[in-house]
Structure 1
Amino acid sequence: MAKLICIAAAAMLLLAGCQIAPRDSTRPARTKLAAPLVVVPVEQYGHALIVTSSWDRHGPYHFLIDTGSSLTHVSPELANRYRVKNAPPTGIPPVRVRSANGDITELPTTVIEQIDLGDAHFEDVPVSIYDCSALSAHFGIKIDGILGFSLFRDTRLTLDYPQSRVILAPAKSNALVPGTTLPSTNAQSLPFVPVRLGDREIAMLVDSGSDATLNLDPTGLNLSYRAPPRPAVLVGTLTGDHLQESARLNSALRIGNYTVPEPIVYLNESLNSIGGGLLRRFSITFDQAKKNVTFYREARAPVTVPSKRSTGLSFSKTPAYWRVAGVVPDSPATWANVQAGDLVSRINGEPVAQWNFHRYERLIAEAEEVTYTFLRGNEETDRTLAVFLLVP
């Protein structure tokens, strides 16, 4: 699955994509809501939801919300500050990761005293300890952790993308939720829902931690394409980094009463999921007590998925320079002989430090071409690359 941490070319990559652990080993010991509805603003970085919270003098803290992970991950700094003293073993199975140089390591686990999101208070939270520095560099904001689905086990969670907010209610709330409600069919406590792709029903994970529109295993689906598969996204796996293929389907996706004609998909060999690229069109409510997920959007018209634009480059970022992590074959970057590992010091004449996530995203969305300044030794060379339709 093309997780954000993979797309960001993070220094450490979770091997399994979504992380699954026994239900009771990953949930907080106690969850307290100070009001019947707790509303927490979020900021959208691309298709990711990042929530900011502060509960003592050390904050604020920034967390990515990932419903595709059953485990919460926090930075070493956060774990050290809030680790429960003399905590018993977590019972969480080892979480293995692969570093950028291919080494396999296991993430340590612990229990931290608390995580607060506004007036929602989670106590004694089992976590793994994960270096979020590459994610922080990618988004241009310090990321302190990744909030997994299990954190919200004892709440009714709403991710309201159109209003840029998270809403938390008591798990047994009977308040009516508008939209189309689908049963959550997975026994491993992750939100899988049945959808229709063409004339076939398949189960898909609702995965806010994925940057894709859809991740799809094409095996046995007999897919037909409006735009055929082509390498598009850099993904890290156990065997190394590779460019994952993307395509636009001929068939429609139906999520309950909502239709997505000819969606863009990322093709993989393991997991079917709905990512943030499509979720951002909805408000999604996860009712774990009743085992269902509700999708809602005000407009009833079909959901259109725009073309994907690119210069053919993906980057791993530092404040001083961006390193080329991947080059899409048969793209403007390929024709300009850009290589993986090349360093970019400027974009359109400005240092890369001045290009935060949102500004660079707007540039790719709107510009006809982008001039990159490549640094080799002490020499800088400009190359102007056209922005093209990676997936029409």
Structure 2
Amino acid sequence: MRLLPAFGLLFLTTALPLAAQTLNLPVQAVQGSVSPVRTQQYETVAQPDKVDSTTQATDLKFKRDPYDRMTVPVRVAGHGPYRFLIDTGADRTAISADLARQLRLGERSGTILHSVTGVSRIETANVPTLDITAKQVRNVDAALLNSEHMGADGILGLDSLRSQRILFDFKKQMLTIVPAEAYVRDDKDTIVVTARVRNGRLILTQARAENTPVTLIVDTGAQVSIGNEALRKRLSRGSMKRTGQVELQSVTGEKLMGEYTIVRELTVGGLTIKKLPIVFADSHAFKRLGLNEQPALMLGMNALRSFDRVSIDFARKKLKVVLPEEGLLINRAVALR
């Protein structure tokens, strides 16, 4: 049994009847059997101010945390820098509750958090500025979470990154942030996969896992790729081998078991990923995205790191990847390392 922290999806609705709002936030692990949570329809919270689209590209040196995820230096309200995880599966940014107290961040509000493991009551705080090198995002309504459960000082969600194009260069260990309107020349070996956006997340629908149609959610905050129960049932009809149980831990500290296995082949667009390790869990996140009844998979860092470069463009709904040199020689198939 191994403990696998992994970000998935986290949703917040207000705990205060006079402050109607709906927030979507990250969670540190996609976990378990959770009954669907009935929610009301609330007004959408105003988005943080957009990053100036005329800004030039910014390069950041990222680090790998103990669980193979990526962290970058971020200044919070003029202080820092602090280490933040990058999570394209999260609609909202989160920061450590201890850091918020240290920086005396105000405008607190009580909120109900709908995570993959259940429902929790938490607080949010207004972050006046987040500086990602030359990029500044203002007026961020961030969730306050435990740094030990996050494994970092905070999490950069889509509210801090959605107006940008994000390029991960795993060979150089560099993250490049480019305004969505800026033109960037693609490498000649780039493979482009067209996607759609659901609840702010990049969704790939033209994919197959061992010849089973599957919907993919691109999630850079997840250490391991996570499949839902519908996918597990479909693949169980074939020759899929179960390799054991693993324990997953959420960003709220809750834990539960998942079923670990290897998918022999995952194809999407012009890509083929072979021998992909995944964990099956009946995640409430899939229910909230309306993907619990059909085969679906959160494509985590164990899959994305098999490429040399990955570009995520939310504005144009594109996922672009460059294969390792050896992969180009084998029908564009990538064997996970």
Normalised TM-score (structure 1) = 0.62
Q: Name 1:76's counterpart in structure 2.
A: 97
With over 3 angstroms needed to count, the CA separation of the structure-2 counterparts of 1:237 and 1:85, relative to structure 1, is closer
Deviations 1:101-126 (A, max 9, x none): x9x63121232111111111111112
**Deviation digits for residues 16-64 of structure 1 (CA, Å, limit 9, x no counterpart):** 949xx99963742131378421111100123200112347874220001
1:273 alignment counterpart: 298
Matched, 1:189 2:197: no
Q: Does 1:113 align with 2:128?
A: yes
CA offsets per residue over residues 166-199 of structure 1, 9 Å max, x none?
1111121232334222222232111111322232
Partner of 1:153: 162
The whole-number CA distance in structure 1 between the counterparts of 2:249 and 2:128 is 34
Q: Distance in 1 between matches of 2:172 and 2:272?
A: 21
Residue identity in the other structure for 2:113: V
Equivalent-residue separation in structure 2 for 1:214 and 1:190 (angstroms) = 16
Q: Does 1:202 pair with 2:214?
A: yes
1:62 paired with 2:94, answer: no
- Residues 311-358 of structure 1, C-alpha deviations (whole Å, 9 max, x = no match): xxxxxxxxxxxxxxxxxxxxxxxxxxxxxxxxxxxxxxxxxxxxxxxx
Question: For 1:224-254, what per-residue CA distance to the aligned partner results, in whole angstroms no more than 9, with x for missing partners?
Answer: 345424213344599x74321111234x111
Shift in Å, 1:289 = 1.4
Distance in 1 (alpha carbons) for counterparts of 2:200 and 2:43: 6
- Aligned 8 A contact 1:38 1:168 in 2: yes
8 Å contact kept, 1:247–1:265: yes
Distance in 1 of aligned mates of 2:132 and 2:247: 32
Alignment partner of 1:29: what SS?
coil
| Separation in 2, partners of 1:281, 1:297 | 8
Q: 1:121 to 1:58 in 2, by over 3 A?
A: closer
Give 2:14's aligned residue.
none
Deviation at 1:267, TM superposition (A): 1.3
CA distance in 2 between partners of 1:170 and 1:117 (Å): 13
In structure 2, distance between residues paired with 1:285 and 1:216: 25
User: Please, which of 47, 52, 66 is the counterpart of residue 68 of structure 2?
Assistant: 47
CA RMSD of aligned residues (A): 3.6
Q: Does structure 1 conserve the Cα–Cα contact (< 8 Å) formed by 2:245 and 2:257?
A: yes
Which of 1 and 2 has higher RCO (CA within 8 Å, sep 6+)?
Answer: 2
Per the TM alignment, residue 264 of structure 1 is displaced from its structure 2 partner at its CA by 1.8
Whole-angstrom CA distance in 2 between matches of 1:29 and 1:168: 17
Q: Pick closer, same or farther for the CA change 1:275–1:93 going to 2, 3 Å.
A: same
Specify the alignment match of 2:37 in structure 1.
none
Superposed, 1:169-318 pairs within 5 Å as 169-178=178-187, 179-194=190-205, 195-217=207-229, 218-223=231-236, 224-225=238-239, 227-235=241-249, 241-250=255-264, 252-270=265-283, 271=286, 272-282=297-307, 283-299=309-325, 300=328, 301=330, 302-306=333-337
- Say if 1:58 and 1:85 are closer, same or farther in 2 by CA, change over 3 A: closer
Change (3 A) 1:107 1:162: farther
The answer for unaligned runs of 5 or more in structure 2 is 9-25, 32-40, 287-296
Residues 221 and 158 of structure 1: CA distance in aligned 2, closer, same or farther (over 3 Å): same
The two structures have a TM-score, normalised by structure 2, of 0.71
CA contact 2:7–2:251 (8 Å) conserved in 1:
no
Q: Judging changes above 3 Å, is the alpha-carbon distance between structure 1 residues 24 and 285 closer, same or farther for their aligned structure 2 residues? A: farther
Query: Is the contact made by 1:112 and 1:124 (CA closer than 8 Å) also made in structure 2?
Result: yes
**Percent of matched pairs sharing the same residue:** 18
1:257 CA displacement = 1.9
Deviation at 1:304, TM superposition (A): 1.6
Structure number with greater Rg is 1
Amino acid at match of 1:274: L
Residue of structure 2 equivalent to 1:32: 52
Q: Following TM superposition, by how much is the alpha carbon of 1:293 offset from its aligned partner in structure 2, in angstroms?
A: 1.8
CA positional deviation for 1:127: 0.9
